[in-house]
Amino acid sequence: MISAAVDNQGQIFNRQDSEPAHVPSIVSTGKVLQADSVPNPNKQKVLFVTSEIADLVKTGGLGDVSAALPRAMSPLHDVRVLIPGYPQVMNSDNPIHIVGELGGHAALPPCKIGRMDLADGLVIYVLICPELYEREGTPYGANNGRDWPDNHIRFARLGLAAADIAAGLGMVHWKPDLVHAHDWPAGLAPAYMQWRGLSTPTLFTIHNLAYQGVFSRACCPELGVPTHALQQEGMEFYGKLSFLKAGMAYSNRITTVSATYAKEITTSEFGCGLEGFLSSKAQQGLLSGIPNGIDESWESATDPHLICPFSLNDWDGKAVNADHVRSLFGLDDSEGPLFAVVSRLVYQKGLDLTEAVAEFIVEQGGQIAIIGRGEPEEEQAMRELALRFPGQVGVRIGFNETDARRMFAGSDFLLMPSRYEPCGLSQMYAQRFGSLPVARNTGGLADTIEDGVTGFLFNESTVQSYEQALARAFYVFSKPELLNAMRCLAMTQPFNWCQAVEPYAKLYEDMVKGSLKAPARY
């Protein structure tokens, strides 16, 4: 399926999404536990290298995780985040103090490192290089949805900055014991560290294997990639350079964001051409899945974004949020079920399937509210869907956290027919707010939804399979006692970051102690 996803787009994606610029400033607070300000000499120093953090800029779940996981780890380890200085970062209200300067390398320009201390103590290192990052748009592209043509330079600079900091260069005065890099934009961090002979251990987390950061091998001189890296065990991918593969090839350990996805990516259906490479890593015990959690702000009784905060069994309170969503999306008054779609509008998310089942939903008295932004064709398809079913299907192209939270709170069901889903956060947010997911049985969806108990899973990416799950959802909706019992179970699922902290902490500790077998290095 994934290879189909890639083929269908005619390319391997280099970006996370085509989300345009005006991502609202804050959103998920990421608050899990208060950052510990008392210095603890036993804490390991971890540099978390990412291209998004929800406090400042996000296009999807990577931003949420980058905000929450460092905070969740903070009682145990001193985790600091390195992120490029996009306008959303530079122009936030948080002061930035310059703490270091890094030299250039090959065609990568010199840059400065700024330090930003967030209110709860989380330390962000900002990579300041106006010529690369201070542009209107998303982290990955312009507002017209096109990737920036120099993304190889922009994100190589991010990787190199991490390697520089790990090497103690640039007077940053904080040298990590471990570097934790995320997705292809951070993929060159472990690579530059390896090429420089640094022994600092590196962990690479795959949030989405389909976005690979693939560039022509002609970019090698600009990036300072050594020729020996151009081999199968290095960053070579079908004759090109893959930043994602570099991250995996040169790190000591690889994780992804659910146990099921960790297995799926070793198969040809989900491996995006990297299944052989990943199977070999899995066989060596170097690949594992650690599921994401959701942060404490996801509490329906206290969430200030909601029109009417509500607790377990307060279904009237939930209904007030539903009324609001109906009016926001121009939907008619109705006693029928309200289905929500809160999603990046990209092929991965299976929106064409939702388009195909919309008539089935509407014919049975259901309504659909859709919010999201993404590929222009997917956005257009959603607009056309709303035109086909006036008063029953409503669409808002764009994204804002308040509306998204109100939709999770007001809807009865969340539609998530993803073709693949490394973890997925939206299905956990929905459950916490009493909206039962109707989702494809894949990746993190399979791991976080109990079929017929906290939601409805279907196996095949087909209209028939999807409609069978929807029919079960309609049946449950017609039996209020059953519906409310499922809502209660969904709302009390123990989704939080605690379950992820322990495995990550163990991995960090084992890696720093050097007790994990190091992979062969190329």
* Closest distance of CB 11 from ligand GLC, Å: 18
Q: Which is nearer to ligand GLC, 410 or 424 (CB)?
A: 424
Q: Residue 326 binds which entry of ligand ADP, ligand GLC, none, with Cβ cut-offs from 5 to 8 Å by kind?
A: none
Beta bridge partners of 110: none
Using CB under 6 A as the binding rule, whether residue 162 contacts ligand GLC is answered as: no
Q: Residue 303 binds which entry of ligand GLC, ligand ADP, none, with Cβ cut-offs from 5 to 8 Å by kind?
A: none
Sequence letter at residue 209: L
Site for ligand ADP in 349-378 (CB under 6 A): 372-374
Q: Residue 257 binds which entry of ligand GLC, ligand ADP, none, with Cβ cut-offs from 5 to 8 Å by kind?
A: ligand GLC
Q: Residue 447 binds which entry of ligand ADP, ligand GLC, none, with Cβ cut-offs from 5 to 8 Å by kind?
A: none
Neighbours of 238 (CB within 10 A): 8
Round to whole Å and give the CA distance between 350 and 367.
18
Contact 440, 261 (CB under 8 A): no
Token output for 182: 């995320």
* Closest distance of CB 192 from ligand GLC, Å: 24
Interacting residue with ligand GLC among 5, 65, 179, 229 (CB under 6 A): 65
Round to whole Å and give the CA distance between 286 and 19.
33
Q: Which is nearer to ligand ADP, 163 or 491 (CB)?
A: 491
Using CB under 6 A as the binding rule, whether residue 191 contacts ligand ADP is answered as: no
Round to whole Å and give the CA distance between 446 and 428.
12
According to DSSP, the β-strands at 253-256 and 456-458 are: unpaired
Burial of 42 (0-12, 13-18, 19+ CB in 10 A): exposed
Q: Which is nearer to ligand GLC, 163 or 257 (CB)?
A: 257
* Binding region for ligand GLC (CB under 6 A) out of 60-68, 80-88, 215-223, 402-410: 60-68
* Binding region for ligand ADP (CB under 6 A) out of 224-232, 338-346, 380-388, 447-455: 338-346
* Binding region for ligand ADP (CB under 6 A) out of 92-100, 112-120, 424-432, 454-462: 424-432
Using CB under 6 A as the binding rule, whether residue 425 contacts ligand ADP is answered as: yes
Task: Kindly determine how many residues on this chain lie close enough to bind ligand ADP according to the rule CB under 6 A.
Answer: 19
Q: Which is nearer to ligand ADP, 20 or 337 (CB)?
A: 20
Site for ligand ADP in 75-104 (CB under 6 A): none
How many Å from the N-terminal Cα to the C-terminal Cα in the chain? 31
Using CB under 6 A as the binding rule, whether residue 292 contacts ligand GLC is answered as: yes
Cα 69–chain centre separation: 12
Round to whole Å and give the CA distance between 356 and 462.
9
If we measure between CA atoms, which residue out of 49, 67, 271 comes closest to residue 163? 49
Using CB under 6 A as the binding rule, whether residue 424 contacts ligand ADP is answered as: yes
Eight-state DSSP code of residue 519:
P
Q: Residue 247 binds which entry of ligand GLC, ligand ADP, none, with Cβ cut-offs from 5 to 8 Å by kind?
A: none
If we measure between CA atoms, which residue out of 281, 189, 195, 197 comes closest to residue 244? 189
Burial of 473 (0-12, 13-18, 19+ CB in 10 A): buried
Sequence letter at residue 465: S
Q: Which is nearer to ligand ADP, 252 or 411 (CB)?
A: 411
* Closest distance of CB 317 from ligand ADP, Å: 21
Using CB under 6 A as the binding rule, whether residue 59 contacts ligand ADP is answered as: yes
* Closest distance of CB 305 from ligand GLC, Å: 20
Contact 401, 28 (CB under 8 A): yes
Round to whole Å and give the CA distance between 403 and 396.
10
Interacting residue with ligand ADP among 20, 30, 61, 455 (CB under 6 A): 61
Using CB under 6 A as the binding rule, whether residue 62 contacts ligand GLC is answered as: yes
Interacting residue with ligand ADP among 157, 344, 396, 440 (CB under 6 A): 344
Phi, psi of 67 (to 5 degrees): -80, -35
Phi, psi of 193 (to 5 degrees): -65, -45
Q: Residue 399 binds which entry of ligand GLC, ligand ADP, none, with Cβ cut-offs from 5 to 8 Å by kind?
A: ligand ADP
Round to whole Å and give the CA distance between 74 and 48.
12
Cα 194–chain centre separation: 26
Round to whole Å and give the CA distance between 155 and 330.
42
* Closest distance of CB 424 from ligand ADP, Å: 4
Sheet containing 253-256: give its strands across: 96-102, 111-117, 123-128, 78-84, 45-49, 178-182, 202-206, 253-256, 287-289
Using CB under 6 A as the binding rule, whether residue 188 contacts ligand GLC is answered as: no
* Binding region for ligand GLC (CB under 6 A) out of 18-26, 224-232, 422-430, 510-518: 422-430
Q: Which is nearer to ligand GLC, 257 or 345 (CB)?
A: 257
Token output for 58: 């996000």
* Binding region for ligand GLC (CB under 6 A) out of 37-45, 57-65, 298-306, 384-392: 57-65
Interacting residue with ligand GLC among 51, 200, 208, 212 (CB under 6 A): 208
Helix pair 401-410, 315-328: axis angle to 10 deg: 130
Using CB under 6 A as the binding rule, whether residue 423 contacts ligand GLC is answered as: yes
Helix pair 243-250, 188-195: axis angle to 10 deg: 50
* Binding region for ligand ADP (CB under 6 A) out of 75-83, 160-168, 341-349, 511-519: 341-349
The residue ranges that bind ligand ADP (CB under 6 A) are 19, 23, 58-61, 64, 342-344, 372-374, 399, 404, 423-426
The residue ranges that bind ligand GLC (CB under 6 A) are 60-62, 65, 207-208, 257, 292, 421-425, 444
